Amino acid sequence: MNSDLRAALTSVRRRIESACARASRAPDSVQLLAVAKTFGADRVRALAACGQHAFGENYVQEALAKQALLTDLGLEWHFIGHCQTNKVRDLARHFSWVHGLDRLRLAERLSAAATGERDTPLQVCVQVNISGEASKSGCRPEQALELCQAVHALPGLRLRGLMAIPAPGVQGAGTRQAYIGLRSCFEALRAAGLVLDTLSAGMSDDFEFAIAEGSTLVRVGSALFGRRPAKDNSVPPIAPDHTA
Ligand SMILES: *Cc1c(COP(=O)(O)O)cnc(C)c1O
Mean pLDDT to the nearest integer, 56-63: 97
Closest CA to ligand 1's atom 6: 221
36 Cβ inside 6 Å of ligand 1: no
Whether 235 is in the pocket of ligand 1, judged by its Cβ within 6 Å, is: yes
* Banded pLDDT at 87 (limits 50, 70, 90): very high
* d(C-alpha 119, C-alpha 189), whole Å: 28
Q: Does the structure show a pLDDT above 80 at 151? A: yes
- What's the Cα-to-Cα distance from 156 to each of 118, 119, 144, 214, rounded to whole Å? 8, 9, 19, 27
Distance 147 CA to ligand 1 centre (A): 24
Does the C-beta of 34 come closer than 6 Å to ligand 1?
A: no
The answer to whether the CB of 160 is under 6 A from ligand 1 is no
Index of the ligand 1 atom closest to the CA of residue 165: 13
* Ligand 1 geometric centre to CA of 234 (Å): 7
Average pLDDT over residues 27-31: 97
Q: Do 68 and 93 touch, CB atoms closer than 8 A?
A: no
The finding on whether 220 has its CB within 6 A of some atom of ligand 1 is yes
The amino acid at 148: C
Range with the lowest mean pLDDT among 129-133, 197-201, 238-242?
Answer: 238-242
Residue nearest to atom 15 of ligand 1 (CA): 235
Percent of the chain with pLDDT over 90: 85
Ligand 1 neighbour 38 (Cβ under 6 A): no
Give the rounded distance of the alpha carbon of 156 from its chain centre.
19
**Region for residue 162 given its phi and psi (left: phi exceeds 0; alpha: psi -120 to 50; beta: otherwise):** beta
pTM for this entry: 0.93
Quick: pLDDT tens for 226-242. Answer: 999 875 545 554 554 54
Amino acid of residue 190: R
DSSP 36: -
Quick check: CB of 217 below 6 Å from ligand 1?
no
Residue 67 has pLDDT above 90, yes or no: yes
Average pLDDT for residues 50-72, to the nearest whole number? Answer: 98
Confidence at residue 2, expressed as pLDDT on a 0 to 100 scale: 82
The rounded mean pLDDT for the chain is 93
Q: Which of 47, 79, 203 to mutate to test the pocket of ligand 1 (most atoms within 8 A of CB)?
A: 203
